């Protein structure tokens, strides 16, 4: 039986579809070689990193913590608040430009070497599958069905790994301590977290047991963007047509037309995790995993021909033999990247050591006190962004009329901690004109931080009526 991908491209619909539209299951062979060894080493480091990042603490916070309810995002010791829109935009912009640059230079190296989808599928789920089902044959056909218990055991292990992934995913959002605590309690105590873990586990099971390579070939937006991000000089995994064609097995007949180095063994196809034939040229489905390089190098070694019939190269180098590193986008991207990161660093360095937000208290807009003074309530939220514990006070500005009272001051906050102080401002009714007045609050810490805040007061239209409340 011929491997379906060895049919001419026009006879195939998609590498993962049969012509009748049914799913074509891929069972890629493992091709051992230098690139597989390298990818495996990288994958093991990344597996540790992906699972370990929420557990690593920097400055008292997880290395990556995406606190959605508080809208605080921590990356390696730096916390971004909702008010850091510009900083976040600069950070995201820099990351995008960096991705564009790396893709222009190194093609889909991220997809083949570092993407969590590839790392978990190729170095966790598929090895587990091979352990229980056995390896596919040389044509990429699935191993013979095994005892039912083996299948059940395989899915049980898949489920355990998926549960671990779901809990790790949750830890990025709520922190590992909470996940650990919740996992020991009843699901009814944390139904939303439980449902989230349940949903993510189910998604992981569907993705890694069923959907698999289609995530890369059909669903991933980065994969769809390759045609605009790559150019002819970008690094790709490519087949050297000039050297390989005409393909086919050589025989000893003197009359036979000379053949290229490709013996049409199909090893590069049956090892491909996305089911394509790299000899048909660069395709969007190629994730740059280099398995076909290892497969073909092993064939060339056996035939005692030079390695590299399939190799890391560029379209231009494969077609013309010439590689051009310098081109417009390779110069433009770094310039934009340097500008964005410089702006980001400058903005970050000049960020004040505390973040202050003034909120009007909910409920009545103001209260008229028995002595005729008008009380306005507010909440002052402070986030300590410095590297030391700080004590914060809120006072009225030196020119402001009235009195400020709070039971919550001073606010003592550890680095990265936030706190709220409820404050009441008592003012004379004379400061109000048409029901409005204004005063100034000042938030200070025990170091050098000082932040003046304008606070709009609300009060009666005329003189205050003792004992009354605002509308
Ligand atoms: S592994 Fe090499 S020799 Fe075999 S079909 Fe692929 S390109 Fe040709
Ligand atoms: S063509 Fe080669 S590099 Fe591309 S996905 Fe298939 S095996 Fe990996």
Q: How far is the CA of 217 from the centre of ligand 2 (A)?
A: 12
In a domain, 424, yes or no: yes
Best of 309, 311, 313, 318 to mutate for ligand 1, by most ligand atoms within 8 A of CB?
A: 309
Contacts 24+ apart (CB under 8 A), 57-62: 59/387, 59/415, 59/416, 60/414, 60/415, 60/416, 61/416, 62/171, 62/172, 62/175, 62/176
Q: In this predicted structure, what is the pLDDT of residue 18?
A: 81
Report residues whose beta carbon is within 6 angstroms of any ligand 2 atom. 237, 271-274, 276, 278, 286-292
Q: Do 315 and 184 share a structural domain?
A: yes
**Domain closes at, from 300, 320, 340:** 320
**Domain closes at, from 299, 320, 341:** 320
**Ligand of minimum distance to the alpha carbon of 238:** 2
Q: In this predicted structure, what is the pLDDT of residue 310?
A: 97
Any ligand 1 atom below 6 A from CB of 268: yes
pLDDT greater than 70 at residue 117:
yes
Q: Do 133 and 33 share a structural domain?
A: yes
Q: How far is the CA of 287 from the centre of ligand 2 (A)?
A: 6
Q: Do 271 and 370 share a structural domain?
A: no
**Ligand of minimum distance to the alpha carbon of 275:** 2
In a domain, 100, yes or no: no
In a domain, 173, yes or no: yes
201 vs 69 pLDDT, higher one: 201
Residue-by-residue DSSP string for 318-359: HHHS------HHHHHHHHHHHHHHHHHHHHHHTS-SEEEEEE
- Atom number of ligand 2 nearest to Cα 285: 5
Any ligand 1 atom below 6 A from CB of 58: no
- Atom number of ligand 2 nearest to Cα 275: 6
Helices (H), 214-266: 214, 221-224, 226-229, 241-244
Q: What is the pLDDT of residues 63-93, one digit of tens each?
A: 999 988 877 888 888 888 877 889 999 999 9
- Atom number of ligand 2 nearest to Cα 287: 5
| Residue whose CA is at the smallest distance from ligand 2 atom 4 | 286
Q: Do 302 and 207 share a structural domain?
A: yes
Question: Quick one: what percent of the chain has pLDDT higher than 70?
Answer: 94
pLDDT greater than 50 at residue 468:
no
In a domain, 464, yes or no: no
Best of 273, 297, 308 to mutate for ligand 2, by most ligand atoms within 8 A of CB?
A: 273
Q: How far is the CA of 279 from the centre of ligand 1 (A)?
A: 8
8 vs 23 pLDDT, higher one: 23
Q: Do 250 and 175 share a structural domain?
A: yes
CA distances from 53 to 65, 112, 169, 184, 203 (A): 9, 21, 11, 22, 22
Give the span between the Cα atoms of 139 and 98, in whole angstroms: 39
Q: Do 370 and 225 share a structural domain?
A: no
Q: In this predicted structure, what is the pLDDT of residue 462?
A: 65
| Residue whose CA is at the smallest distance from ligand 1 atom 8 | 262
Q: Do 246 and 172 share a structural domain?
A: yes
Q: What is the pLDDT of residues 347-370, one digit of tens each?
A: 998 888 899 999 988 888 899 999
| Residue whose CA is at the smallest distance from ligand 2 atom 8 | 289
Q: Which residues contact residue 456 at a Cβ distance below 8 angstroms, ignoring those fewer than 6 apart?
A: 436, 437, 438
In a domain, 80, yes or no: no
Give the span between the Cα atoms of 400 and 428, in whole angstroms: 11
Give the span between the Cα atoms of 281 and 457, in whole angstroms: 71
Q: Is 397:452 a contact under the CB 8 Å cutoff? A: yes
Any ligand 1 atom below 6 A from CB of 299: yes
The whole-number average pLDDT for the span 238-264 is 85
Residue-by-residue DSSP string for 276-326: --GGG---TT-----HHHHHHHHHHHHHT--S-SEEEE-HHHHHHS-----
Domain CATH number, residue 436: 2.60.40.10
- Atom number of ligand 2 nearest to Cα 277: 1
- Atom number of ligand 1 nearest to Cα 266: 5
Kindly indicate the confidence band of residue 464, based on its pLDDT and cuts at 50, 70 and 90. Answer: very low
Q: How far is the CA of 241 from the centre of ligand 1 (A)?
A: 11
**Domain closes at, from 273, 304, 320:** 320
Give the mean pLDDT of the chain.
88
In a domain, 336, yes or no: no
Q: In this predicted structure, what is the pLDDT of residue 226?
A: 81
CA distances from 325 to 103, 255, 282, 297, 427 (A): 13, 43, 19, 26, 70
In a domain, 96, yes or no: no
Q: Which two tokens stand for residue 270?
A: 């049956």
Report which secondary-structure segment, H or E, holds 158: helix 148-174
Q: How far is the CA of 145 from the centre of ligand 2 (A)?
A: 27
How many structural domains is the chain composed of? 2
Q: Do 389 and 293 share a structural domain?
A: no
| Residue whose CA is at the smallest distance from ligand 2 atom 2 | 292
pLDDT greater than 60 at residue 208:
yes
Q: Do 288 and 186 share a structural domain?
A: yes
Q: Do 40 and 174 share a structural domain?
A: yes
Q: What is the pLDDT of residues 274-323, one digit of tens each?
A: 999 999 998 889 999 999 999 999 999 999 999 999 999 999 999 988 87
Give the span between the Cα atoms of 88 and 206, in whole angstroms: 33
Determine the structural domain holding residue 180 and report its residue range: 1-62+107-320
Q: Do 191 and 118 share a structural domain?
A: yes
Q: Do 296 and 360 share a structural domain?
A: no
pLDDT greater than 80 at residue 253:
no
Best of 290, 292, 311 to mutate for ligand 2, by most ligand atoms within 8 A of CB?
A: 292
The whole-number average pLDDT for the span 467-471 is 47
Q: What is the pLDDT of residues 400-409, one digit of tens each?
A: 888 999 999 9
Q: In this predicted structure, what is the pLDDT of residue 6?
A: 58
Q: Which residues of 122-152 are buried (b: 16+ CB within 10 A; e: fewer)?
A: bbbbbebbbebbeebeeebeeeeeeeeeeee
Q: What is the pLDDT of residues 168-192, one digit of tens each?
A: 999 999 888 888 888 888 888 888 8
- Atom number of ligand 2 nearest to Cα 271: 7
């Amino acid at each position: 039986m011929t491997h379906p991908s060895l049919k001419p491209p026009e006879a195939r619909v998609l590498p993962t579809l049969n012509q009748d539209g049914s799913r074509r299951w891929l069972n890629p062979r493992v091709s051992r070689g230098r690139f597989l060894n390298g990818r495996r080493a990288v994958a093991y480091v990344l597996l540790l990193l992906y699972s370990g990042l929420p557990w690593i603490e920097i400055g008292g916070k997880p290395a990556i913590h995406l606190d959605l309810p508080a809208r605080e995002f921590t990356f390696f010791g730096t916390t971004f608040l909702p008010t850091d829109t510009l900083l976040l935009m600069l950070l995201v912009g820099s990351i995008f430009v960096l991705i564009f640059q790396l893709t222009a230079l190194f093609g889909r190296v991220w997809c083949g070497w570092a993407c969590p989808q590839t790392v978990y599928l190729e170095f966790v789920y598929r090895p587990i599958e091979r352990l229980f089902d056995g390896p596919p044959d040389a044509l990429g056909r699935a191993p013979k069905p095994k005892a039912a218990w083996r299948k059940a055991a395989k899915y049980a292990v898949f489920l355990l790994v998926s549960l671990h992934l779901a809990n790790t995913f949750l830890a990025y959002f709520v922190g590992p301590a909470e996940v650990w605590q919740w996992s020991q309690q009843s699901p009814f105590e944390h139904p939303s977290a439980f449902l989230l873990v349940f949903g993510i586990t189910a998604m992981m099971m569907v993705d890694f047991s069923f959907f698999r390579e289609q995530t890369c070939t059909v669903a991933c937006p980065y994969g769809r963007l390759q045609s605009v991000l790559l150019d002819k000089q970008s690094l790709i995994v490519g087949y050297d047509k000039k050297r390989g064609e005409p393909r086919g097995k050589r025989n000893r007949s003197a009359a036979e037309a000379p053949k290229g180095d490709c013996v049409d063994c199909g090893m590069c196809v049956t090892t491909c995790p996305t089911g394509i034939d790299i000899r048909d040229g660069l395709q969007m489905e190629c994730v740059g995993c280099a398995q076909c390089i290892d497969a073909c190098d092993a064939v060339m070694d056996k035939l005692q021909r030079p390695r590299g019939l399939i190799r890391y190269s560029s379209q231009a180098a494969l077609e013309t033999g010439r590689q051009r590193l310098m081109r417009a986008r390779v110069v433009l991207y770094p310039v934009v990247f340097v500008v964005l990161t410089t702006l980001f660093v400058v903005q970050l360095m000049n960020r004040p050591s505390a973040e202050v937000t003034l909120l009007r208290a909910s409920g009545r807009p103001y209260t008229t006190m028995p002595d005729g003074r008008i009380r306005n309530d507010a909440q002052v939220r402070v986030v300590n962004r410095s590297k030391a514990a700080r004590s914060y006070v809120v006072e009225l500005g030196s020119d402001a009329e009235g009195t400020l009272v709070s039971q919550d001051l001073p606010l003592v906050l550890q680095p990265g901690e936030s706190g709220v102080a409820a404050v009441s401002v008592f003012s004379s009714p004379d400061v109000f004109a048409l029901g409005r007045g204004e005063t100034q609050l000042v938030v200070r810490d025990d170091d050098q931080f000082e932040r003046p805040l304008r606070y709009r007061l609300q009060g009666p239209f005329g003189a205050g009526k003792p004992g009354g409340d605002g509308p």
